[in-house]
Amino acid sequence: MSNLKIYNTLAREKQLFSPIEPGKVRMYVCGMTVYDYCHIGHGRMLVVFDMVQRWLRQSGFEVTYVRNITDIDDKIIRRAVENGETISQLTERFILAMDEDAAALGVQKPDHEPRARDYIPQMLSIIGKLEEKNLAYMASDGDVNYAVRNFSGYGKLSGKSLDDLRAGERVDVNTGKRDPLDFVLWKAAKISEPEEVKWPSQWGAGRPGWAIECSAMAGAILGDHFDIHGGGQDLQFPHHENEIAQSEGAHDHKFVNYWMHNGFININAEKMSKSLNNFFTIREVLKEYDAEVIRFFILRTHYRSPSNYADVHLDDAKQALTRLYTALNEVAPDALPLDSNEAYAIRFAEAMNDDFNTPGAIAVLFDLANEINKTKSPALARQLKLLGAALGFLGRTPDDFLKGRFSPNADVSGLSDEEIGSKIAARLAAKKAKDFAAADSIRAALLDDGVILEDKPDGRTEWRRA
């Protein structure tokens, strides 16, 4: 069905994708921990795996896409207590904000969006199985921990050996853990914590550790063995490593066939993160840039490569996307479906099937645009529009994009469409009266207001926002 190759983090190489069940793909991606607004680094993860599921579907696969929500976590508890609100009040507010940000970036809703708090029974079931197999134990402080050294495969995803992991690097050695490398599966309830984060269990009241949440949610919806697991590069270790240990330890078979990790967005060569306080929220960036421009900025870099955030790169993305929309503005696409056997479509598919090589696919879009500008072919315009749609681009009318409609910065010039039209009419009248100085003055004034005019051979004047 497909010649798709995926870089499998577990194998450390590109591998031909072969689903467990022919024609069907089950994919799980670690989603947001909802205690604050999403930053543009989170936006990259959302857009990247949206692109992945779009291309899988475009390739003919029946996809079940799961992206979870972590709605119980140390940071969530801390923030809710600081704010004097309940956990549910905090998480519901930021889930709504996340949905708004994702929708703005053209991210389609996953097929399933499980919340950790709804899967406590499944988590306790896995922990019980691990305890039966001597892979989990209750410590003196009441926590239930995973016995890392009892699982022979620990480190296979990250390439880390147990001997290289020093005692104090990841955990406080002054705990009830038998080994500093062990990680928590079930946290004993603390008196200081809200009652709403205390669940009953055979080990006493408490709440789940982070990694067990994903093992439970993924397994409950997709089964104990599925095709693709994705997330940010920072989750490779320890989060995804711990998921493997939990799921494979509990079920005695392979957990996931293909592991995918997207690279970071950097600022001044440092990973964008809340802990470094060097991040921009998605909604902050949306105040300055069109949402489709942000999506284009994200996908013009290969998903595994680092990306550098800077205004100059977003400005360049805007100009690049403008070129594509300008080609469609000049030539209206015909109404036929995508021709997958056409030369540009074949090149596009070859790029996407090479580990989702979006830079290569976008290069094909620009070649198409150049050819449309030369040939004025409606068939090629249709190919451009439909291939762009596979990446979540070119979904608006060219006029709406070029004039800044449906964009947070649509009125950045301070001039309405009507005011611009009036000034263009005044300029046309000045030209007819051969008052070219006045006409030039109007053009210059519009440019100062962020409006670019383009005179057409048939006498029309079109405009777009800079």
pLDDT digits (tens, 9 = 90+) for 343-366: 999 999 999 999 999 999 999 999
> Are 127 and 244 in a shared domain?
yes
Mean pLDDT along residues 6-34: 98
pLDDT tens per residue across span 447-464:
777 777 878 777 778 777
> Are 397 and 430 in a shared domain?
no
CA dist list (Å): 3 to 11, 193, 256, 257, 365: 18, 51, 20, 17, 21
Question: 410 lies in a domain?
Answer: no
30 annotated binding-site participant: yes
> Are 132 and 214 in a shared domain?
yes
> Are 319 and 215 in a shared domain?
no
Rounded-to-10 torsion of CA 77, 80, 84, 86: -90
Between 340 and 429, the more confident residue is 340
Contact 88, 118 (CB under 8 A): no
Contact 322, 352 (CB under 8 A): no
HSE toward the beta carbon, residue 2, CA cutoff 13 A: 27
Question: 178 lies in a domain?
Answer: yes
> Are 424 and 398 in a shared domain?
no
Instruction: State which residues form the domain around 443.
Output: 417-465
239 annotated binding-site participant: yes
Among 348, 368, 402, the domain-final residue is 402
Which amino acid is located at 194 in the chain? P
| Cα–Cα dist 401/385, whole Å | 13
> Are 315 and 427 in a shared domain?
no
Residue 57: what are its φ and ψ, rounded to 5°?
A: -70, -40
Contact 148, 181 (CB under 8 A): yes
The pLDDT of residue 166 is 53
Contact 364, 347 (CB under 8 A): yes
Question: 369 lies in a domain?
Answer: yes
Question: 272 lies in a domain?
Answer: no
Between 70 and 403, the more confident residue is 70
38 annotated binding-site participant: no
Question: 31 lies in a domain?
Answer: yes
> Are 257 and 320 in a shared domain?
no
> Are 392 and 424 in a shared domain?
no
Per-residue H/E/C for 175-224: CCCCCCCCEEEEEECCCCCCHHHCECCCCCCEEECHHHHHHHHHHHHHCC
- The CATH number assigned to the domain holding 116 equals 3.40.50.620
Question: 453 lies in a domain?
Answer: yes
| Cα–Cα dist 436/427, whole Å | 9
Q: Are strands 307-308 and 265-267 parallel, antiparallel or unpaired?
A: parallel
Mean pLDDT along residues 39-60: 97
The pLDDT of residue 101 is 96
> Are 168 and 126 in a shared domain?
yes
Among 378, 402, 426, the domain-final residue is 402
Q: Are strands 451-455 and 270-271 parallel, antiparallel or unpaired?
A: unpaired
Question: 290 lies in a domain?
Answer: no
| Cα–Cα dist 124/373, whole Å | 61
> Are 49 and 179 in a shared domain?
yes
State both tokens at 359: 């830079």
Count of other CB atoms within 10 angstroms of residue 93: 15
| Cα–Cα dist 255/260, whole Å | 14
- How many domains, in total, are found in the chain? 3
Query: Which position has the token pair 């097929």?
Result: 111
> Are 207 and 58 in a shared domain?
yes
In terms of Cα–Cα distance, which of 57, 58, 72 is closest to 27?
Answer: 57
> Are 17 and 115 in a shared domain?
yes
pLDDT above 60 (res 411): no
Question: 182 lies in a domain?
Answer: yes
Q: What percent of the chain has pLDDT over 70?
A: 93
